[in-house]
Copies of this chain bind each other. A is one copy, B any other.
Amino acid sequence: MEAADKKGTDTRERLIQAAGEVFAQRGFKGATVREISRQANANIAAVNYHFGDKEELYYEVLKNSLSSVMEKYPPDLGVTPESTPEERLHAFIRSLLFRVLDESRPTWHARLMAREIAEPTAALDQMIENILGPLYGYLTMVVKQLISDEANDELVHNCMFSIMGQCLFYHNARHVISKLYHKKFGPEVIERLSTHIMRFSLGAMKDLGILDTSHAKANYISSQ
């Protein structure tokens, strides 16, 4: 069988692609092996033959997703050892936004990860270990450089969450945004969003950093 992708291509691979699409769209429970098989041009029994059962297929799909998601948009894209912390932050935001909003390629990676984050299965742990943990670690470093190396942990975490939240919101609330404001997320819009989020966050951290270092930690901790 020398045909390119008529039937010769690995059924296993086609199943993963199809399953990714279906899982992302309908969730683990909502996805049926019949729909996956149909969409992969495979027999119903193919899933069980190649993966054992539906759950194992899901894990395989997620693992596949994890490794490919970071490839196209690594969090330090275009950053050199000489880059300023500001440039690193912009690169981080930009890559995160493209990672979750770019529709020029299969979008199920991001949607699947978002699903797993919002309602974890047993697979969340490996996702944290391989992707989210390192990602947060990297952002921690960047933020610390931006506000103050000896800023208290709470402030650092809060700033990180403020940045992550701004980025992920556009993915999470995309249906609402599009219904309320008829906004579409093409590459140039994403570019502008990343500029906004960077300026917004830099302005904020400039303020907070001053607060934190001048009035010392007690100031930030006192609330209300």
Contacts and interface: CB of A to CB of B under 8 A. Distances in A.
Contacts of A165: 165-170, 173
B167 A136 contact: no
A193 interface: yes
A173 B162 contact: no
Contacts of A224: 191, 195
A74 interface: no
Interface string A152-191: 0011011101101111111011011101110000000001
A85 interface: no
Nearest to A127: B176
Contact of A117 (B125, B173, B205): B173
Interface of A: 26-27, 29-30, 114-115, 117-120, 124-125, 128, 132-133, 136, 154-155, 157-159, 161-162, 164-170, 172-173, 175-177, 179-181, 191-193, 195-197, 199-208, 211, 221, 223-224
A180 B128 contact: yes
B27 A180 contact: no
Q: How many chain copies?
A: 2
Contacts of A170: 161, 165
A174 to B, nearest CB: 9
Listed from nearest, the 10 A-B pairs whose CB atoms lie closest are: A165-B169, A203-B207, A204-B204, A200-B204, A29-B30, A165-B165, A203-B204, A165-B166, A195-B223, A158-B196
B208 A199 contact: yes
A169 B179 contact: no
Contacts of A201: 200, 204
A172 B172 contact: yes
26 contacts: A27-B30, A115-B118, A118-B175, A124-B175, A132-B180, A133-B180, A155-B196, A158-B197, A161-B170, A161-B177, A162-B166, A165-B166, A165-B170, A165-B173, A191-B223, A191-B224, A195-B223, A199-B204, A200-B201, A200-B204, A200-B205, A201-B204, A203-B205, A204-B204, A204-B207, A207-B207
B206 A207 contact: yes
Contacts of A27: 27, 29-30, 119
